[in-house]
Amino acid sequence: MLRLTELRLPIDHPPEALRPAILRRLRLREGELVDFTIARRGYDARKKNLIQFVYTLDLELRDEASVRGRNPGDRNLGTAPDTGYRHVARAPEGFRNRPVVIGAGPCGLTAGLILAQMGFRPIILERGKVVRERTKDTWALWRRSVLTPESNVQFGEGGAGTFSDGKLWSGIKDPQHLGRKVMEEFVKAGAPEEILYVSKPHIGTFRLVSMVEHMRRTVEKLGGEYRFGARVEGLDVETGADGTRRMRGLHLAEGEYLAADHVVLAIGHSARDTFAALERDGVFLEAKPFSIGVRIEHPQSLIDRARLGPHAGNPLLGAADYKLVHHATNGRAVYSFCMCPGGTVVAAASEPGRLVTNGMSQYSRAERNANAGIVVSISPEDYPGGPLAGIEFQRHWEERAFVAGGGTYAAPAQRVGDFLAGRASTELGQVVPSYKPGVTPTDLATCLPDFAVAAIREALPQFDRQIRGFAMADAVMTGVETRTSSPLRITRGDDFQSLNTVGLFPAGEGAGYAGGILSAGVDGIRVAEAVGIAMLGAQQLQPAS
């Protein structure tokens, strides 16, 4: 099979135009092209008056050699990659001690699914609730300011990615095409098939809920087991005569003990009490960079016009997004994060007395505002004190935001014009903030480090040069965005195991090895494969009974 890239057509082309376009491009007769599939479809909007779809296509041909011969030196024609997934291990008969996955977010869910498909019948521990019960608790915060610490945007089946835009693209290197496996499993679970080929696929929260349920049922049918409300409070680690530390089990809430020699640690970036328990139990941790900032909202129509020109509002293109970065004179990088076209800003707190924001969109992306994080880089030098110091740094600014919002989970908000002028907002303008349970106009400079305030004030006018109107006076900023990524890394070796604890496999965002649904899912596959290989090795070393 051959792959053809960079085939361009007008955005209003009919579906039946693709086949003749391929024939013309490669000088084929009708009978030479047996079939084709769309591997990728994006669009080029650099010329707003001439936006085009750009296709990558996999072609089934009667005579590949002949087609290659007629198109010598064509850099856009080559062999289609093999994107089929093959499991690296199969569970042997009578294996002992089922693997345990801690966390049912995108990484843990995918790791559990792969382990189940390999026949290892994993046990999946989730401190929160099943996804629909968790959804009710999350809406209670948004509608009534009632926070449930174990069931919210951060904790529960599906993880933080459930209440997001459901973005499924990533900049990670993926030579094994594991991202394709993640996407295929999502489609089996009910995601639209277009995620397999559109350039910036997304799903949206409502679809994610049903998909998570479907994947859970699949794991259970394959012999896996879910335990909800199962919070891990510590590890049982055995130290051998040679000083090697090995996993032997887990201490759960209310005194329960679970034997486990192979544990996938997919806890997400907000399991702060678990991070503390890991440090107490001697697991190697290290501080890592992350970012802090605010959510900014504009009318989606403004972003559409700026990005798509006369094609703004075209349903084939959907709501426009953006990606921005500015290197400030104080040495900080300021960039847009988790941009949500046609979405809402949501309350994402997981601890009482602390306020966190995030962004979310439904599949339709039909809300009136666009929102994105505008965040500033933070390094461990900004919060000295060890691997857990970044958590305390986050908590400090979350507490300041909670107070500035009025202490009711209302969020502090400010007009961009007032923020740039260095004055507090007393009222808001034409951009109506979407955050629930509501906002309090104030001065966001009290909720962010001085260097972040200075960097964002410098960046906004620069962003306005790329997107006209970005620094409009009535655009709304809502604080604070602190959970961009994990503030620490649970460092692992080439075998995906903790540097100093054999049998512990740190994974996903919480471990510092992913950033988003797709990369977390890919990391879950890699770690599940490593667990399978390790379990096969352990099985061979066990004496015959």
Query: Is residue 370 domain-shared with residue 309, that is, in the same domain?
Result: yes
**Contact (CB, 8 A) for 328 and 454:** yes
SS3 76: coil
Query: Is residue 205 domain-shared with residue 320, that is, in the same domain?
Result: no
Query: Is residue 133 domain-shared with residue 250, that is, in the same domain?
Result: yes
Give the global pTM: 0.94
Query: Is residue 392 domain-shared with residue 413, that is, in the same domain?
Result: yes
Q: 476: which residues sit within 8 A by CB, 6+ positions away?
A: 296, 297, 413, 414, 415, 416, 428, 431, 432, 433, 439
Per-residue confidence in pLDDT tens, the chain, 545 aa: 999 999 999 999 999 999 999 999 999 999 999 999 999 999 999 888 899 999 999 999 999 999 999 899 899 999 999 999 999 999 988 888 899 999 999 999 999 999 999 999 999 999 999 999 999 999 999 999 999 999 999 999 999 888 877 788 887 888 899 999 999 999 999 999 999 999 888 887 778 899 999 999 999 999 999 999 999 999 999 999 999 999 999 999 989 999 999 999 999 999 999 999 999 999 999 999 999 999 999 999 999 999 999 999 999 999 999 999 999 999 999 999 999 999 999 999 999 999 999 999 988 899 999 999 999 999 999 999 999 999 999 999 999 999 999 999 999 999 999 999 999 999 999 999 999 999 999 999 999 999 999 999 999 999 999 999 999 999 999 999 999 999 999 999 999 999 999 999 999 999 999 999 999 999 999 999 999 999 998 765 554 43
Query: Is residue 261 domain-shared with residue 315, that is, in the same domain?
Result: no
Q: Which residues span the domain enclosing 396? A: 289-481
| Sign of the Cα pseudo-torsion (402, 405, 409, 413, in order) | negative
Query: Is residue 105 domain-shared with residue 250, that is, in the same domain?
Result: yes
DSSP string, 279-315: HHTT---EE--EEEEEEEEEEHHHHHHHHHGGGTT-T
The secondary structure element, H or E, covering residue 228 is strand 225-228
Query: Is residue 430 domain-shared with residue 315, that is, in the same domain?
Result: yes
Query: Is residue 428 domain-shared with residue 530, that is, in the same domain?
Result: no
pLDDT at 542: 53
Specify if 85 maps to a domain.
no
Is the omega angle on the peptide bond into residue 480 within 30 degrees of 0, that is, cis? yes
SS3 225: strand
pLDDT at 200: 87
The partner residues of 130 in beta bridges, in order of sequence, read none
Query: Is residue 272 domain-shared with residue 297, that is, in the same domain?
Result: no
Query: Is residue 113 domain-shared with residue 182, that is, in the same domain?
Result: yes
How many domains are contained in the chain? 3
Specify if 95 maps to a domain.
no
pLDDT at 540: 58
pLDDT at 93: 86
Specify if 89 maps to a domain.
no
pLDDT at 543: 44
**Contact (CB, 8 A) for 30 and 67:** no
pLDDT at 544: 40
Specify if 536 maps to a domain.
yes
pLDDT at 262: 97
Query: Is residue 246 domain-shared with residue 393, that is, in the same domain?
Result: no
Question: 3-state DSSP: the chain helix, strand, coil percent, rounded to 5?
Answer: 35, 25, 45
CATH number at residue 510: 3.50.50.60
Torsion angles phi and psi, residue 128, rounded to 5 = -90, -160
Specify if 93 maps to a domain.
no
Specify if 268 maps to a domain.
yes
